[in-house]
Structure 1
Amino acid sequence: MSGATAELPLFPLRLVLFPGALLRLKVFEARYLDLVSRCLREGSGFGVVCLREGGEVRSGAETVRFEDAGTLARLDEVDAAQPGILQVRCTGTRRFELTGSARQRDDGLWVAPVRELPDDPAVAPTPAMHATVRALANAIGALAQQGTQPFAAPHRFDDAGWVANRWCELLPVPLAAKHKLMLLDDPLVRLQLVDEFLRQRGVVGG
C-alpha cells in the first residue's frame, strides 16, 4: 500500500499485534478460511485490529466494535492438520489506520479503507534504559529454558522500538493501553513508558 489508502480485509482479535510479533491462529470460520486461501494465492496479508466489543467468532447479530488502527499480518506458514481447520503462523509488519468506516461483507468478513503508518525509526535505547534491555534478554533466556520461543530471531536489542514492542507483548496491561503504546510514533517514548512501568513494579532496579 505504501502509505496510500486501500481496502484491507480485517481480522478482529482480542489482542494487540505489534510490528515484529509472532501470531498463531487456529482458523475454522468460512470467512477466514477463504481469506487465508486468498492471501496465499495473492501473496497478500490482512489487518489485525483489537476488539473492544463482541467476540472473535461470529455470533448472530452480536455487536462488534474494534479499534480504528491495527497492524498488517504477513502469512508465514499454513498447516491444514485437520479438515476445515488451518493452523496459521503470521508476523506483524506495518501499522495502519482506518481512513473510513469498516463494513461487513455478506460472508461476515470485515473490510475497511486503510492507510499505512510509518515504521519506527531505528533508534538505539538510551543508556538509562539499558537495564530494561538486559531484563528483556534475561526474560527471553528464561522462556527459552522452558522451551518457549515467543519472539522471532534476530533479537534486536540495539533497537528501541523492537525492545519496547517485545516488552509490550509480555506486560500484563489492558489492551487499550497496549493499543496506545503500539500507535506511539516515537519508539524512545514507548520504551520510556515501558521502563517506568517496570521500575514501578520492581522488575528493573532503580
Structure 2
Amino acid sequence: MAATTPALDLPLFPLSNVLFPGGHLQLRIFEPRYIDLVRECARTGRGFGVCLILEGREAGQPAIPAAVGTLATITDFHTRDDGLLGIVAEGGQRFRVTRTRVRSDGQVRGDIAPWLPEETIGVPAEFGLLTTILERLAEQMTPPWRSDVAARADDASWVGFRLCELLPLDPNECQHMLELDDPLQRLAELRDILPRFQRA
C-alpha cells in the first residue's frame, strides 16, 4: 500500500483489540496522557491512531503498538455514569507507523504514513454466504452500522471488515485481516475459518 501523504505526527492509542476502517470504538478515558490526547484532537480537529498492543497493557506503562493501525476520529464525547470521560470514535484510513516515541507523561506518539483506501469491489457470488452471515449477525448483535448493511452488502472491503468485528477472531487474527490489502483475499480467509464457528 502506498502512502498518500508525508508521514504525520499523531498520538497513538494502543489497545488490546483492533479498529477497522468504518468501525466504531467506545473508550473510557481516565489516564492524563489520554485526556491530553482527547484535548489535542478536539483542538486540532485531527484524529489519533489506534494500534493493537504487541507487548504491555492498555493502562500503566507505555505499551508497544503494532506497526499497522487505523486512524480514529472522535465523533462524540460524554460523561459516563462513573463520572469519567467517554468518547466514541470512528475508524478511517489504515496507516503504517514509521517511527514511535514516548513523551514524559507516557503518551505514545508516532509518525504515520496513511494507506490508500481499498478499491471498492463487489462481493463475488462465491462469497455470498458471508454476506448472509453478516446480515444475520447484524440482526442479532445490533452494531451501530446495522442499518447500512443493505446498502453496503456488495462492497467486499466493507463486508470483510464488518465480519472481522463480529466474528470471534482473536486479536492477532484481526491484525492480520487489517493488514491484508486485498478485500477478496480477506473474504476468502474468512470463509475458510467459518467452520471453526459452526455449532456442533
Aligned position for 1:49:
51
1:187 pairs with 2:183: yes
Conserved? CA contact 1:96–1:117, under 8 Å? yes
In 2 relative to 1, CA 29–201 (structure 1 residues): closer, same or farther, beyond 3 Å? Answer: closer
Match of 1:7 in 2: 9
CA distance in 1, matches of 2:22, 2:188: 19
- The structure-2 alpha-carbon separation of the partners of 1:111 and 1:153, relative to structure 1 and needing over 3 Å to count, comes to farther
Deviation at 1:163, TM superposition (A): 0.7
Counterpart position of 1:163: 159
**Distance apart, 1:81 and its partner CA:** 4.0
Unmatched 5+ stretches in structure 2 = none
Identity of matched residues, %: 34
**Unmatched runs of 5 consecutive residues or more in structure 1:** none
Tell me how far 1:143 sits from its aligned partner. 2.2
The correspondence of residues 1-206 of structure 1 with structure 2, limited to 5 A, is 2-59=4-61, 64-81=63-80, 85-100=84-99, 102-144=100-142, 149-151=143-145, 153-155=147-149, 156-199=152-195, 201-202=197-198
TM-superposed deviation, 1:11 = 0.3
Question: Deviation of residue 199 (structure 1)?
Answer: 4.1
- The answer to whether the 8 A contact 1:71-1:96 is kept is yes
TM-score for the superposition, normalised by structure 1? 0.87
- How far did residue 171 of structure 1 move? 2.1
**Cα shift at 1:55:** 0.9
